[in-house]
Structure 1
Amino acid sequence: MQRNFKLIFNGLLLISIIFNILILILLTLDFALNFKPSILDIVRFDFIVSILIILRTFFRLKNVKSKRTFLSRNWIDVLAIIPLAYIAISIFPNTYLLVIVLLLVRIYALFKYMLEIRDVIRLTRKTKLDYATVILLTTLIFGSILFYLVESPVNPTASTLDSSAFFMIVSMTTVGYGNTVPVTRIGQLIAVTAIVVGIAYTGWVTAAMASSLIEDFRKKRKAETEKLNKSMENILEKLDKIEKELEEIKDSKEFK
């Protein structure tokens, strides 16, 4: 049960980190192109991801003897805990160069930390979820850029890259706030593609998690069955031994 909870938590953390990285990449492009992002509040998600990383680090520290040695060897954990993007945009929103540098450092730290979640990485490779994630990210990135290019000239609600990315995210999660609506045919096609890919990915993740839980249950049952069979074999061996000893005692009495 504890292993299943750990796997689910790490899976949610991995997905959160991926989405956070994408948000930070789009924000970095906005600042690099001297576009003032219109939805800066979305960077609060970076703060939520830091809280999730703190929780995972706390549970990992409970199982180690030397916490100082663990933190020194896993320095990327400490760097990933700090919500640099949230700090940069909250304190220095007008210092574009500093914001860009801190965003790039944050993206690097999150990417390195993401690669350390090995149990989920193994699961994604085994269930081909890594390919589905690549399709999801590709759709999100190129869909956001294409939606911005075709909608921004005629749609005031999609005038910035981050608003287009926000539209793609709420479409892929099937939330659909409705504050940004495509007005072009291509924009509507992008929206439909985002919804289909989002639903398909959700189903794929659900199937992968279910498959992992079932496999874990089968391994436990198999281990319990093997343990039970071994115990039965030991009992049978002892019974055979007792039976032989009784026969020897019986034979010795008959001989006398």
Structure 2
Amino acid sequence: MRPIHLTNAGGRDATVQYGNLPTEPSPPLGVPGKRVHFQRYLAATESGLHEALAAQLGEDYYQALVDGDPEVDLERVGRRIGNTQLVYLTSGGEVIYSAPQVLEVVYAPDGSERERRTPADALANTNVEEPVRYTGRLFTRAEVVRRFVFRRTVQLVHSDGLTFDYLFDMARELDAKDSVVLLGTGPKGALPLVFQTNGTPYRAFLEGRVRDDSYQLLMHLSNMELKLPEGAGS
């Protein structure tokens, strides 16, 4: 569970917890009664890659592949691969020993390059002094599922009696209206939610469900809105 600082419809703020929804275990793979063991094997060596074969046999080496197996290193191909390490290479295939400089390229809608810039860190903003805002902008459940693509859903949970009442009232109000409310960050709640530094910014929609004395408060996260192309009918 991770903390999130947010306000309710009345502007009162509190820090509560959120976490992933429980999921069903995936169906087992393989033969019934036997465990599946995953293993990686070496498929090719550097001498079997296109550049090496082209340098040795010429660009048109297809006949050599038919007549023999020049791309196969019989001593090494097929060996089991154990632990590996990630390395970065230059465009020339040389190993990079220091971190490369990252450059952010911005493209216009027509695909042309607009600008190049050094990327700035996007700081997390869901558990800071400025709380996540309950904007009051409501969407019906039927409307929101047709307009937005939800990438992830997390559940808000209480940690004591006070936060139970706080979240239960929010869920009951939303459930009674059959609606979800847009959440946002910043002084006016107009900014998206960023859960970790340099993480994906999301729009958040809060949905409440109530049954007797229990509640479920779901936060649906989206970074894509569905829109009709210009000139298309409604």
User: Normalized against structure 1, the TM-score is what?
Assistant: 0.16
Q: Give the structure with the larger helix fraction.
A: 1
Which of 1 and 2 has higher RCO (CA within 8 Å, sep 6+)? 2
Q: Give the structure with the larger strand fraction.
A: 2
Larger radius of gyration: 1
